[in-house]
Amino acid sequence: MPVSARTETYAVFLDIDGTLLDIAPSPQAVVVPTDLVESLTRLREALDGALAFVSGRTLGEIDRLLAPLHTAAAAEHGAVVRLPNGEIEEAHVEVPPEWRTALSQLADQHPGVLIEEKAHSIVTHYRLAPEAEPIVRRTVTDIAAGASDRFDVLPARMAYELCGRNVSKGAAVRRLMTIPPFAGRKPIYVGDDVTDEPAIAAAQEAGGLGLHVARDFGGQPDKVRAWVKSLVEPDPATRIAADFGIAG
């Protein structure tokens, strides 16, 4: 595949749910289009490895969804970061067992409320029970109130997540930008949710681009996928510059 030398200018960071993949009723119900992994693999090659996924999902889920692609990644909103050499860095954050118990009881009492457990956080989804939003929000907020120095309530799409106060996607992007093959490049971050705002800001602060699915892609992940595919055309750097008005 012909690749412009200017490709070396860029590093690309991609959120997954709501960005690469369409939102589904539950995290387990998402569908990965058949040609997506091929497009991402080609993009990673074109960028000499400077491609990373930055997601609220666990590292295992990221690898399962995008198999056999295996690349740098920030999971659980940055609580787990896999470096390009495969080394894994993890935040020292543990959700108290009593919090997990309380939220499981909440889900039992409100059909449609789903609990997503991770190593360093816990999510309460109410997409299938939107009427439960007030009780979900109140419960999660009350739980975190006694540990506000260590935990934040992170609002997401039809969900609330309890996660470590010093964990963020922005911090993960900054960490990866300190090491090859990301270091010295212009970061381009694409995300769709409030959890992506710190990473969008980090990319902009580093002289790159922070793109929001709603603002820049009409709220449609299929347009993000088409854009990703376009980046592996003969001159991806030129295409990036043309689409978003940045110099190569």
Structure tokens at 68: 């056999």
User: Which amino acid type is present at position 204?
Assistant: Q
Tell me, yes or no, if 192 is annotated catalytic. Answer: no
The Cα 83–Cα 176 span in angstroms is 7
Catalytic residue among 15, 17, 192, 235: 15
Q: CA-based angle 182:187:193, to the nearest 5? A: 120
The Cα 114–Cα 116 span in angstroms is 7
Secondary structure class of 38 (helix, strand, coil): helix
Catalytic residues: 15
